[in-house]
Structure 1
Amino acid sequence: MLEEWNVLDTLLHEKVKKLRGSSRRQVLDTWIIGIPQRYGGLGVPLHSDVAPMAYASMMEQACVTLEAIFHQRSGPDETLTLQRQRTGAFYELEFNKKFDTLSRDQRNVVLDSQSKLGRKWLSTIPYNKQLKLSDTEISYALHIRTLCPGKDNNCRKCGMENSVGHDDICNSRENLRTARHDYVKGLLMRFLAAAPASTITPEPANGLSGNWPSSV
């Protein structure tokens, strides 16, 4: 059955790449899409990886059960290796093997994606329409989480290589560097102000540049 599932695995991962909205196909795509979210991936595992471990756990359970039925074995039950234990050990090994080969910027992105806040958007249902993510925002988030640079090989603003996370450090994109942070700050101000008897006061504008600082 693995051959049939391999086709579905490929289609599923290709769908993720389509949602990402990039024509790039990265060497790390299969790895970063497949590893669990707690390791900084998307948590879309390959059946070809998980199926053998699931089979081993089921076979072990079946052998113990049949032995107890036909041989009336007495005494304490054997400690079985659960599927989640097998997959946990597998993905820990897979993560450790690949993580050390990543660049510093890639490692920083993966570590940030492992955090609770870094992965919460993947499993949160936006009951409030103001919290919904647009298609562009989801595409951008998937670019970051899957370690995929922008479509151009070089940044149009500074000419440097368009590596993962370059938008956050590009000296020629000062507005873009702070736009997302300021947007989140605005959301915090709006929702904190909605609390009864609360007053939100941002810091005064910077006298040198005229820009608002990042604090609330």
Structure 2
Amino acid sequence: MSMVRNTTVCALFLAGAATLGLSGCSDSDSDKPKDSATGTSTPSAPSSPAGASGSPSAGVSGAPASVRDAIKALDTADRAVPGGKSFDLERETDASGTRVWDIKTASNGKDQYNLTVSEDGAKVVNKRQDMTPDDDVAKLKDVKISAQEAAKMAAGHRQGDDLKSLEIDSNAAGKTVWQVNTVKPGGQSGTETLLDAQSGKVLGDKTDD
């Protein structure tokens, strides 16, 4: 008798639900998390899209503005040329007194473009192809650490320092390195940090007097 009664109750509920536009007797919400206070189902949080770790500038939010802007400027320069990979950056003041970033960027591993990027790193102010590429372009061939990553690593090593310049180079042992120059805010003397361009390991600091 209980089975007949349950069937009848469910049928009556379905008829009413059809009128009200509600769902039937199925328990499709049974596997959703319940609110501990009300016992009602709570919506699941949306999953993060794959590969949402962000650009090379992610993870430096606490670094000085010069570091964040430099990394953004390198990103901007890389996007401005085909197959762009920047290898030299320097903070400069142009003829009008505006602070900018001068950047050298390799294109497809062979050509070189010299770019001027706004201080905030958002806009290319000037771009021209250099018909006599630097020897440094060839150094990028087997590099595993990008200029952006080198700037980020140097910022972690020299916490609080402003970034002045960055370039790819070779040390006395012939190892390809990133040379990053930083300075304490308001200071005059700077520090030159060498990073292994393959591993990112700090190879040493040299402080200017």
* Superposed pair shares fold, TM > 0.5: no
Q: Which has the higher helix share?
A: 1
Comparing both chains, which one has the higher relative contact order based on Cα–Cα distances under 8 Å and sequence gaps of 6 or more?
1
Q: Which has the higher strand share?
A: 2
Computing the radius of gyration from Cα coordinates, the structure with the larger value is 2
